[in-house]
Structure 1
């Protein structure tokens, strides 16, 4: 793939012969058309595609959250979502093809320079209620009382996410009502802090698994 500078008539876009012109994130590219082959994919290629499909399956529902969570780590050529997919692909998928599994403890929802939330954890305080708690430590550099606290719960049994952003670092606690239909379901949870400007985050913390009573 080649990168080029606009000519007198602007950027080239489209296909001419065996060359395709395109643009992504304000960068203009030239690339050749892929060669047509009847050769079947190797097991390594199939494994790679399977891991990528698993990564997309778990992370696409969180795309907006991931773009925020990795906002202060983004590079010009990569979105926060793409960075999260890369990390998930490399770290959170374990095992050998075709028996891949997801290690939720290695799944990252954010990566940044804001202080994490000390002591962050959760329990089923009462039937139908989850209670999250953390220490309210602050400083004037990277841990502010009005940092938003984002909490994400994944119901592994029902394959769905729940996202909460109403709490702040200064609160120290937050309760979540859960459906009675979740009885016996396996949950995973993460949390991270987000600066008031929405551009700086803490690195996400995995809070472990919990089976709803």
Structure 2
């Protein structure tokens, strides 16, 4: 794929002969028409395809979180979900082809320099998941009471995610939500991360562990 930089004819969209023109974020691109493969995929290609499926199956449903958690990562060249994919591909997949699986403890929902929330906890009681964190703020670290707190739980057996309708704040120190009846078995994996109010700075996400629901 080529990039058009103020060429003689400028950018274009659509098909022209054997190439297709398109643009993204004011950058014009040209690429050749798709050619049907005549050779079977190599073993290395099959491995990469299976890793892609394994990771993207997890990431796609939480794109709204990734827009925040990876929204400042090289945004002129890649989308947040692609930035999250590249980041997690290096660390979060384990196993051998074709039996890849996610190492949830190494999955990152966000990555940044905002100071985190200190001592963290998660507890399941009476049908509710409760997340707790420190409420301390610091001018030196530029952390404030209105920093936003995002929590996420994933139920691997049901392949479903859970979270709150709206983020909490650093000053709250706690947030909880009711777990749907059909999910109150097995266990969930849990994460937490923060952003400032304008969502221009984020913390690294923290894996809080696996929580038993029954």
Task: Provide the TM-score with structure 1 as the length reference.
Answer: 0.90
1:29-40 mapped onto 2 (5 Å cutoff): 29-40=29-40
Moved over 4 A (4+): 7-10
C-alpha contact 1:71 1:200 (8 A) present in aligned 2: no
Q: Distance in 2 between matches of 1:14 and 1:201?
A: 38
Q: Are residue 191 (structure 1) and residue 192 (structure 2) matched?
A: yes
C-alpha contact 2:93 2:101 (8 A) present in aligned 1: yes
Per-residue CA shift, 1:134-173, capped at 9, x if unaligned? 1112112431111111111111121111122342111112
Per-residue CA shift, 1:158-213, capped at 9, x if unaligned? 11111223421111122222234333321011111111112211111111001112
Q: Unaligned 5+ residue runs, structure 1?
A: none
Partner residue of 2:148?
148
Deviation, 1:19, is 2.7
What is the RMSD computed on CA atoms of the aligned residues? 1.9
Deviation, 1:34, is 4.5
- SS of 2:108's partner is coil
Q: Distance in 2 between matches of 1:7 and 1:45?
A: 35
- SS of 2:154's partner is strand
Q: Are residue 138 (structure 1) and residue 137 (structure 2) matched?
A: yes
Partner residue of 1:202?
203
Task: Provide the TM-score with structure 2 as the length reference.
Answer: 0.90
Q: Distance in 1 between matches of 2:192 and 2:155?
A: 15
Q: Are residue 85 (structure 1) and residue 88 (structure 2) matched?
A: no
Q: Distance in 1 between matches of 2:209 and 2:79?
A: 27
Alignment: residue pair count: 212
Bigger shift: residues 189-198 or 136-145: 136-145
